Each structure stands twice: as C-alpha cells, then as structure tokens.
Chain A
Amino acid sequence: MSIDIFWRIPTHGEPSSHRSRRPFRGDWFPGDDGQRQLGLAGGGDDGFTYIDYLAEIARAAEISGFQGGLLPSFPMTDEPWAISSFLARETRTFRFMIAFQPGFLNPVTAARMTASLQRATGGRTLYNIVTGGGGPAQLWWGDSVGHDDRYARTAEFLDVLRGVWNGRGSFSHRGKFFSVENAGLPETLANESFPEIYFSGSSDAALICAAKHADYYLSWLEPSAQLADKFARVKERTAQLGRRIKCAVRVDVVARATEEEAWREVSRGFENADPALVADFKGGPGSTGDSVGVARQGGLRPRTLNSYRDLIIEPNVWSGFTLLRGGQTNGIVGSYEQVAEKLDQLVQLGADAFILASTPHLEEAYRVGEEVLPLLRGRSGAAPLRAVG
C-alpha cells in the first residue's frame, strides 16, 4: 500500500524562512493580525493578490510529487473553498484538501459545491473535517453549539451529505441539526465521486465520529507512544463498526543535507523568536478553547527554556515550531535521511498518509519533494519508493 503525501498551503501568509519573521510573503503583517501591508512584497499595491502566490505553491507541490495540499481555515486566514475554486483551472493533479466546519454550511449546499468542484477539477476535492476549537472562537464564527454536540452535528452533517450525494432526488431526513426532503444532486453532477474525508479531533467524541465517517484520521505529531496509542484506539473503534480507517500525520519538517544544518535553521529561528512568545510558551496550553488536541500538545512543554535544545522531545523532534509560526508545535528536524527515517517510523506506528509543511512553502515543496520523498521506504520497509504522484 502506498503512502499518500500532501503538502500544506499557507492560508495566512508566511515568512521567507524559519529563521526570521521578515520579510513576509503575503499582505499579512508579520506577527500582527491587526495590520496589513500593501502588496505581496510589502512595497505597495502591485496588482497581485495573495492567490497569485498560493498558485505558485500549489504548482510547486504538484510538480514535485505531492498529491495535493491541505488548505487550513482559521479566523485570520483566507478560505479554502475560495482558494480551491480559484485555482481549479491552473492546477493539473493537485488535490484540494478543504478544511471546514460542518456547522457552517447547509449540507445540501455543501454537496452541490463539492460536486461542482469535483467536476471543475476532475475529482481532485477532499475534505479535512474540523469540528471546532471551541470557546470564544466558535462564537466568533457565529456558532454557539457546545463541544460534544458539535461532534453529533458533524456526524449528522456527513450522514446527510452522503444521503444527498446518493439521493437521486429522493433522500429525506429529519434530524436534530438538519432536515431535508426529496433531495439529491443534480443529474449532471450525480456521477461525481464522493470526496475522501480526513478527520481532525482528539477527544473521545471525535474518535467516535471519525470511526463512523472518516477515511483518514488526522493527528498532529505527538510523542511516538502517545501517537501509536491514539492510532490503535481509532483503528480498534472503527473495526468494531466493521469499517477500516487509515491514519495520517500533519507535521512540519526542517530537512537539510546535514543534521547540523537543519538544527542551525531551528536554532536561528529560536534566537529570533519574539521573547514574549517564548515567555508565554513555557508550561500549559495557550488556548482558551475546548480543543483536546491543543491541550495534548501544551502538556509537553518544559518549565525552563534557555536553548532550542530544551524543546527536543525525541530524537529529531522539536516542539517549538509554534514560536516560529502559528499552528501545531511539534515538527521533525534532521538530515534528509533522518527525516525520511522518522516518517518511516511513523508509518510503522500506523500512519498511512502525511501532510507535510515547511517554510517557505514554495521552495521547500521542491526540496522535500526532491530530497526526502524519494528516500521513504513506506509500508514495505524495503526499497525506497519513488515520490508519490
């Protein structure tokens, strides 16, 4: 069985390296979501918009052997549905992994959007279903449904979506969150394939929902034993339902020709990190939401933090990535061989797919595609696979 490898699309601008916040690509102002800079290069309105840069990354990813890319959605980012439809025509093989929260769309609308995007891209759409970090952020989105109820809503949404997809005009449902009568896809879209579902969420409610609905259970990188346990639990739960589920890891990598070079990159980034951010980083999680995934990562943080070395939690695993950019905090650092080996270890722990990322996403798509992916042994553990395409 081959390993599916995706890249990530930075929907929130990005610095031009891990070493420093500046210069910054995109009209975001580095470190300050309240400001914007004009033009992509910060030199005034140049007629380009951020989608022009995202198009470059998507093409780099498809050219260098990635299946596609995850398009994350957060309050401060651009939106994946927009990005996917805008880039449909100028990509060839790139698969658009759209992150969205089911509560925000009518499932019949979502079905028709997805089927149209499938038609526009020749079937290159898939989902990353997110059920929300909770707390004030959910109300910011206009969503007041509580944590466990949101997973019930996600489950119902996916049931209805699938029902509509296969409904041929006769699917009906009366539920707690959604109702529909005599629904289906238009005749012209009825033969499009249903998107694969990557599912995020670390709580018990999430695992139950994933077991029933997901094709892939997606986790951030966690310490090996913890991750192996999580994958085993979700696979076991899914097996109880008579289904199979695959597991995926979403992780940043810093891969260089030598291990020294890779750590030098991280060390420079750590030295240039915002001191306030570093002070906040020590101890518990930094979120006020009800995300179990965030809490699981926060629990790993050290009490003293004098060097980037204090954040090495396993060989070739550094837990300070959130100091360099937003998002999850554990990532893989090492030589090309070491990064490939670490990914292979994750395959042995149960991973069937990866969503990789590195900054800057354009150049690093080529580097990782050319230098790391060809070294992966994958499931067989034998001869390296050629890059997955």
Chain B
Amino acid sequence: MSIEFIWQLPTGVSDPRGTRFNYLDYLHQVARAADLSGFDGIQIQNDPQGDESWIVAGYLARSTRHVRLLTEFDASRGSAVYAAKNAVSYQRYSRGRFAWQIGTGGSTEQRRAQGDFANDGDVIPRIEEFITVARGVLTSGSYSFKGKYFEVLNGGFKGPLSNSPVPRIYLSGNTPEAYQLSSRVADVHVFDAVSRDQLEAEIRKLEDLGTRRPHLGLRLSLVARETETEARADAAHYPGRPGLVGSYAQLATQLADYVKMGIGSFIVTAAPHLEEAYRIGEHILPAVRRLLSPSGRDAA
C-alpha cells in the first residue's frame, strides 16, 4: 500500500446559515478542497453529537472524484449483512472508494445512549464478528455464519452486487484486546499521536502479536506555517491537541520520518478545515512525496 493522506472532516457544529444553506454545504466544500488539493481520502468521523457518518459519506461521494471515503461507525449500528449490502451500493456508486473505520462506541453509558447494551467485554468480539460476516457476504456467493451477535444463512451478493471490493478496514485502540483484534482483522491499525519513542513501543506491541501485520496509520493534528515562529505562535491558540507544529519543511521531514517508522496512512486535521486542506495539500503533501521518492531521498 502506498502512503496515503486522509483529511479529517469537522463534525458536530450547529449552523448559522439559516435554511438556504446548511452545514453539509460547508462539509461539501471541505471535502472538495481535500479532493482538489491532492489528499487521498477524507475521514468522516462518527460523532454521536453530529451528523450520521454514512449519510455524510454518500452525500459527499457524488461530488468528489478521487478521495477515499473513510467512514467511521460502531458495530452496534445494526445487522452486519445489511451494512455490507449498503456498502456494496456505496462501492458501486463511488467506484470502490468506500472504507470503514469501526470504533467501540465509548463508555458503557455512551453506548447505552446509542441503544447498545453489549457488555464491555463483548464490544471487541462483536467488531470481529461484524467484520467476519461482512467480509463473508461480500466475498462469497453462499455464506453462512452463526455467532453470538450475527447470523446469516446462504448469504452473499449476486450478479452486479457481487465482487465489490470489501471496504478497507481501519481499527484503532491501544489495549491488548484492540491490538489482538487488529492483528487478526484490520487492514490498517491507526495509532494516536504520541511521542516518537512511545509510538515505536506501541508499534512493537502490535507487531509482536502475530504473523499477520496490518498496515500502520497515525492520527495527527498539524499547525503548519511558512516559518516555525509563526507556527508556534498560532499553535498557542490551539492548546491540548497532540500533533506537529512547525514550518512546511519541518513538518514534511517529520512526516517522512514517520513513514520510515512504518506509518503508511496519515489521518490529519487542522483548523479551519477548508483553508488548511489547501495549505497542507499545496505545501506539505508534495514535499513529503518528494522526500519519499527515490530521487528525493538522494537529494535529502
């Protein structure tokens, strides 16, 4: 898998524009900004206080051309077969750009507010069943499964609905159970931004688990400016977000260093989302790609 940069869309904002336009019109512009400025994907977060991610993904799919639609949701959303069947339409209509980031749904209290009464210990096994069943019906014409949470008999999609690519599956979490799950079923395991040393230790925990290695991803916020001084001054306005702060050249080098550690997927965010998508797309992504190309390495 080549290196990918995924732009995180904002979420959960109320809207002052009245009825002629609404927040989704703005999201639409952010998504197009990411598409136009060279990102490989957009991440549509699952925010229980915001719009529902699958609807947003469909809404944005039609007016974007290249970006992967990394759509975050929980395995409590309903039947895995139904999710897979909907995914087939998303794949058909977006020409294979749909991807899944499956989360745990948070604390017991948060999950119950989402209609999810699974025991804490069942959340991760249910994600695994969800993925297993979805993959089964997406890749087989006659698939049966009977588990604790999901069941299907002679399932699977036929004709035009068959052979749609299984959405690439992104998982995260830093517990032993989360790493075990990822080592079995994730295509990409996404780490949260931590220090370089900590990240190395976390990567080792995941990779020590087995022969099957998911690709590695990293979620980062960025404050990128022409000079380091400007970046530091502006970063002071965004306290508490772990991430990278610096000049375009500094950030490009740091991102390339993460690639050398094995990171292949970056889920990045910066505010404001529209303008910063262009800034990072124009100033940083090409620089990182140059550094990572064979000729760029010679030059470095």
Closest chain-A Cβ to B112's Cβ sits at a distance in Å of 4
Report whether B52 and A109 are in contact in the complex, using a CB–CB cutoff of 8 Å: yes
The number of residues on chain B lying at the interface, defined by a beta carbon within 8 Å of a beta carbon of chain A, is 60
Q: Kindly list chain B residues whose C-beta atoms are within 8 Å of the C-beta of A26.
A: 160
Task: Tell me the minimal C-beta distance from B156 to chain A in angstroms.
Answer: 8
Within the complex, the shortest CB–CB distance from A328 to chain B, in Å, comes to 22
Instruction: Tell me whether B93 and A140 are in contact (CB under 8 A).
Output: no
Contact A88 B13, beta carbon cutoff 8 Å: no
Complex alpha-carbon distance, A253 and B46, angstroms = 43
Is residue A9 within 8 Å, beta carbon to beta carbon, of the partner chain?
no
What's the Cα separation between A183 and B58 when bound, in Å?
A: 25
Interface string of A167-190 (1 = CB under 8 A from B): 001000000001111111011110
> Contact at B12–A186, with CB atoms within 8 Å?
yes
Bound together, the chains give a CA A189 to CA B48 distance in angstroms of: 11
CB of B236 within 8 A of chain A?
A: no
Chain A residues with Cβ below 8 Å from B116 are 106
Which of B24, B47, B77, B155 touches A120 (beta carbons < 8 Å)? Answer: B24
Residues of B within 8 A of A187 (CB): 14, 49
Which residues of chain B from 59 to 108 have any CB-CB distance to chain A below 8 Å in the complex?
59, 61-63, 73, 76-82, 85-86, 88-90, 92-93, 95
Q: Specify the main secondary structure of chain B where it touches its partner.
A: mixed
B50 close to A (CB within 8 Å): yes
Q: How far is the CA of A116 from the CA of B78 in the complex (A)?
A: 17
Q: Does A314 contact B (CB under 8 A)?
A: no
Cβ-based interface call for A354 (8 A): no
Residue among B15, B63, B150, B160 with the highest chain A CB neighbour number at 10 A: B160
Q: Which of B153-168 contact A (CB under 8 A)?
A: 153-155, 157-162
Decide: A142 and B79 in contact? CB cutoff 8 A: yes
**Quick check: A142 and B151 within 8 Å, CB to CB?**
yes
Q: Given that A32-B159, A186-B12 are known contacts, is A105 also in contact with B77, CB under 8 Å in the complex?
A: yes
Q: Which of A76-84, A278-286, A334-342 contacts B (4 or more CB under 8 A)?
A: A76-84
Least CB distance from B54 to A in Å reads: 7
Q: A160 in the interface, Cβ–Cβ < 8 Å?
A: yes
Inter-chain contacts of A183 with B (CB < 8 A): 113-115
Cβ < 8 Å to B, chain A residues 83-120: 83-90, 103-110, 112-113, 115-117, 119-120
Interface flag for B258 (CB, 8 Å):
no
B interface, CB within 8 angstroms of A:
12-15, 19, 22-24, 28, 47-52, 54-59, 61-63, 73, 76-82, 85-86, 88-90, 92-93, 95, 109, 112-117, 133, 150-155, 157-162
Query: Contact: B49 with A188, CB < 8 Å?
Result: yes
A105 to B80, CA, bound (A): 9
B158 touches which one: A34, A89, A120, A169 (CB < 8 A)?
A34
Most buried by A among B47, B78, B133: B78
Number of A interface residues, CB 8 Å? 64
Q: Which B residue sits closest to A181, measured CB to CB? A: B112
Contact across chains for A86 and B52 when beta carbons are under 8 A apart: no
Task: Give A151 to B10 CA distance when docked, in angstroms.
Answer: 39
Whole-angstrom distance between the Cβ of B109 and the nearest chain A Cβ: 8
- Given A82-B89, A187-B49: A181 and B81 within 8 A (CB)? no
19 residue pairs bridging A and B, Cβ less than 8 Å apart: A13-B160, A34-B158, A78-B89, A85-B55, A85-B58, A85-B61, A89-B63, A103-B79, A105-B82, A108-B114, A109-B73, A112-B51, A140-B153, A141-B155, A142-B80, A142-B152, A144-B151, A188-B13, A188-B15
In Å, the complex CA distance between A141 and B143 comes to 11
Q: Counting chain B CB atoms within 10 Å of each CB, which of A81, A115, A169, A183 scores highest?
A: A81
- Asked if residues A136 and B153 are in contact (CB atoms below 8 Å), the reply is yes
Known: A76-B158, A142-B79. 20 other contacts (CB 8 A): A78-B88, A78-B93, A81-B86, A82-B89, A85-B59, A86-B58, A86-B62, A89-B63, A105-B78, A106-B116, A109-B73, A120-B55, A122-B19, A140-B81, A141-B81, A142-B150, A182-B112, A186-B47, A186-B51, A188-B14
Lowest 5 CB-CB distances: which A-B pairs, in order?
Answer: A85-B58, A82-B89, A139-B153, A142-B81, A104-B82
Q: Are A50 and B92 in contact (CB under 8 A)?
A: yes
Bound complex: CA A36 to CA B81 (Å): 21
Interchain CB contact (< 8 A) of B159 among A76, A120, A178, A182: A76
Answer whether residue A49 sits at the interface, using C-beta atoms and an 8 A cutoff.
yes
Give Cα A141 to B22, complex, Å: 36
Residues of A within 8 A of B80 (CB): 142
Distance of A261 Cα from B104 Cα, bound (Å)? 60
Name B160's contact: one of A28, A105, A116 (CB within 8 Å).
A28
A-side contacts of B159, CB under 8 Å: 28-29, 32-36, 76
CA distance in complex: A48, B153 (Å): 33
B24: A residues at CB distance < 8 A? 119-120
A11 (CB) vs chain B CBs: closest residue: B89
Kindly list chain A residues whose C-beta atoms are within 8 Å of the C-beta of B47: 186
Known: A86-B93, A105-B78. A179 touches B86 (CB 8 A): no
Closest Cβ–Cβ distance, residue A133 to chain B (whole Å): 15
CA distance A86 to B61 in the complex (A): 7
Q: Indicate whether A27 reaches chain B with its CB closer than 8 angstroms.
A: yes
Asked whether, in the complex, the Cβ of A186 is within 8 Å of the Cβ of B49, the reply is yes
Cα distance, A186 to B12, chains bound together (Å): 8
Chain A 65-85, CB-CB to B under 8 Å as 1, else 0, gives 000000000011011011111
